[in-house]
Amino acid sequence: MGRMAKERADFLVIANRLPVDRVVHPDGSISWRKSPGGLVTALEPVMKLRGGAWIGWHGASDEDLSEFEHDGLRLVPVPLSESEVEEYYEGFSNATLWPLYHDVVVTPEYHREWWDAYVRVNLRFATKAAELAAENAVVWVQDYQLQLVPQMLREMRPDLRIGFFLHIPFPPKELFQQLPWRRQILEGLLGADLVGFQMPGGAQNFTQLVRQRVGHRTARDTVFLPDGRVVLARAYPISIDAAGFEQLSRTPEVIARAQEIRDSLGNPRHVMIGIDRLDYTKGLPQRLRAFGELISDGTIDVDDAVFVQVATPSRERVMQYRKLRDDINQLVGRINGDVGRIGQQPIQYLHASFPREEMAAMYRAADVMVVTPLRDGMNLVAKEYVATRWDDRGALVLSEFAGAAAELKQAFKVNPHDINGMKSVMLEAMRSNAVDLRKRMRALRKQVMENDIDKWADCFLTDLASVGESGQSGSDD
């Protein structure tokens, strides 16, 4: 362990969470397993190639762990106290920034002590990275919990090449300006050489805010700092391990399980499915209400269609999330009570997490995937569904407010705030003819299979390597 602790890394990823979850066995022993998630899949080969390390919190409070290796990855835990989990993570990250960046779907809360904790924790991450990074190393900071790290790290280590990627939407100027610490966040991000967003609109919002609020000169995707440094702000829509997901969905086990799922639902003509984190940005009540009305007004028969909604538990200590959980439970109970009959519940609601294999089987079992967030940075579930449709069958109903909507042009688009509109699009997806569905799915598959997570990471890191050379950047899209 001693040797590793001193070894410096040429490539660092900094994220709120380490890419592993702790598993406690019946005998009390502890092991780690890789967390599900595209980011880990994307960065693992890059890290192994460059001798990288991953800095992040391991998920438990008041515990200081030494760095360790898991599955060939060097993992460096950053400790958080119980009060920091409350104020930096549940507070500032998830009750201030998250709702603000998602179009204030719920009202953000602004508390000075939350901000103080955010600054303190960001500094701890930056300090750890400054100790660990080799000379001229590449450091890639991830997401909204760590927006101050780029500037803090640059002050400690001006030799580093620093990239930042925001996985969630970057809000319109009018909303961002509510934030009492708006200037500090902008300056924090400007510590990076390259600031990446999911959508071109996010990058534009950022450069306009920098011009208005910080006063730096900007030109299109470039910010010119007084010290001669340039910062690029660009869109890099994130993706999935598309080939891996398709492969998984072709295994005999998954194919058999998909059939089993359909059988257990009574083999209806239409299986519709939603798979989301239980989050108020995901538009679950609107979607369930639309489907419930299609059944209650007799447009579709309860024997013809079943809606399976998987809601993965999330942030259960944040009050708005607990309230949402109760609201959804009531809504599902009411719809099923009103329109169900013995043996036939139109909505099958699962508040649980499932392994990748079971998710792939659910995707394969569904004729119609319904993805209707009120606002979403990207939404990888939509892309996962497409990756599993290797027979070109199935339909994707997709909110126009998901980042993925810009790429997945052949999906059936909906405005999730418009319940009547959603009902008619769901019907259209169920009733479209096979030829039209195949044409749409083929186009969707081409997009998802060609633009996978490897290509995403490669584009970002290539551009990061070339920022500032001859005053401009790498690829220009």
Q: For residues 205 and 176, is the Cβ–Cβ distance under 8 A?
A: yes
Claim to verify: residue 172 and residue 249 sit in the same structural domain: no
pTM tops 0.85 = yes
Percent of the chain with pLDDT over 70: 96
Q: Classify 230 in phi/psi space as left (phi over 0), alpha (psi -120 to 50) or beta.
A: beta
- The one catalytic residue among 143, 376, 452, 463: 376
Claim to verify: residue 111 and residue 45 sit in the same structural domain: yes
CB neighbour class for 286 (10 Å; exposed up to 12, middle 13-18, buried from 19): buried
* H helix count then E strand count, the chain: 18, 18
Dihedral of the CA atoms 349, 238, 90, 125 (nearest 10)?
Answer: 150
Contacts of 349 (CB under 8 A, 6+ apart): 309, 311, 328, 329, 332
Confidence at 477, pLDDT banded by 50, 70, 90: very low
Our answer to whether residue 376 is catalytic in this structure is yes
Q: Is 473 among the domain residues?
A: no
Q: How far apart are CA 358 and CA 469, in angstroms?
A: 47
Q: How far apart are CA 215 and CA 195, in angstroms?
A: 18
Q: What is the pLDDT of residue 473?
A: 42
Claim to verify: residue 291 and residue 199 sit in the same structural domain: no
Q: pLDDT (tens digit, 9 = 90+) per residue, 61-87?
A: 999 999 999 988 899 999 999 999 999
Q: Which of 26-30, 330-334, 365-369, 451-455 has the lowest mean pLDDT?
A: 26-30
Q: Which of 11-20, 136-145, 313-322, 325-334 has the lowest mean pLDDT?
A: 313-322
Contacts of 95 (CB under 8 A, 6+ apart): 108, 109, 114, 318, 320
In angstroms, the Cα distances linking 264 to 237, 259, 267, 354 are: 37, 9, 7, 17
Q: For residues 421 and 396, is the Cβ–Cβ distance under 8 A?
A: no
Both tokens assigned to 270? 């239409």
Domain residues for the domain of 355 are 242-450
Claim to verify: residue 258 and residue 210 sit in the same structural domain: no
What is the average per-residue pLDDT within 123-150? 97
Q: What is the pLDDT of residue 38?
A: 67
Q: For residues 77 and 71, is the Cβ–Cβ distance under 8 A?
A: no
Q: Is 475 among the domain residues?
A: no
What is the average per-residue pLDDT within 9-32? 91
Q: Is the pLDDT of residue 2 over 80?
A: no
- The one catalytic residue among 102, 143, 167, 279: 167
Claim to verify: residue 90 and residue 127 sit in the same structural domain: yes
Q: How far apart are CA 227 and CA 435, in angstroms?
A: 59
Claim to verify: residue 461 and residue 399 sit in the same structural domain: no
Q: How many domains does the chain have?
A: 2
Q: What is the pLDDT of residue 1?
A: 43
How many other CB atoms sit within 10 Å of the CB of residue 451?
Answer: 18
Give the residue among 165, 147, 74 at the shortest CA–CA distance from 457.
165
Confidence at 6, pLDDT banded by 50, 70, 90: low
Q: Is 223 among the domain residues?
A: yes
Please name the helix (run of DSSP H) or strand (run of DSSP E) that holds residue 171, with its range, or none. none
Residues facing residue 17 across a β-bridge = 57
Mean pLDDT of the chain: 92
Helix, strand, coil in percent for the chain, rounding step 5: 45, 20, 35
In this structure, what CATH number is given to the domain that contains residue 274?
A: 3.40.50.2000
Q: For residues 384 and 413, is the Cβ–Cβ distance under 8 A?
A: no
Claim to verify: residue 260 and residue 231 sit in the same structural domain: no
Claim to verify: residue 234 and residue 246 sit in the same structural domain: no
Claim to verify: residue 286 and residue 163 sit in the same structural domain: no
Claim to verify: residue 209 and residue 279 sit in the same structural domain: no
Q: Is the pLDDT of residue 275 over 60?
A: yes
Q: What is the pLDDT of residue 23?
A: 85
Claim to verify: residue 212 and residue 327 sit in the same structural domain: no
Q: Is 476 among the domain residues?
A: no
Claim to verify: residue 250 and residue 184 sit in the same structural domain: no
Q: For residues 369 and 273, is the Cβ–Cβ distance under 8 A?
A: yes
Q: Which of 16-30, 144-158, 202-216, 391-405 has the lowest mean pLDDT?
A: 16-30
Our answer to whether residue 167 is catalytic in this structure is yes
Q: Is the pLDDT of residue 273 over 70?
A: yes
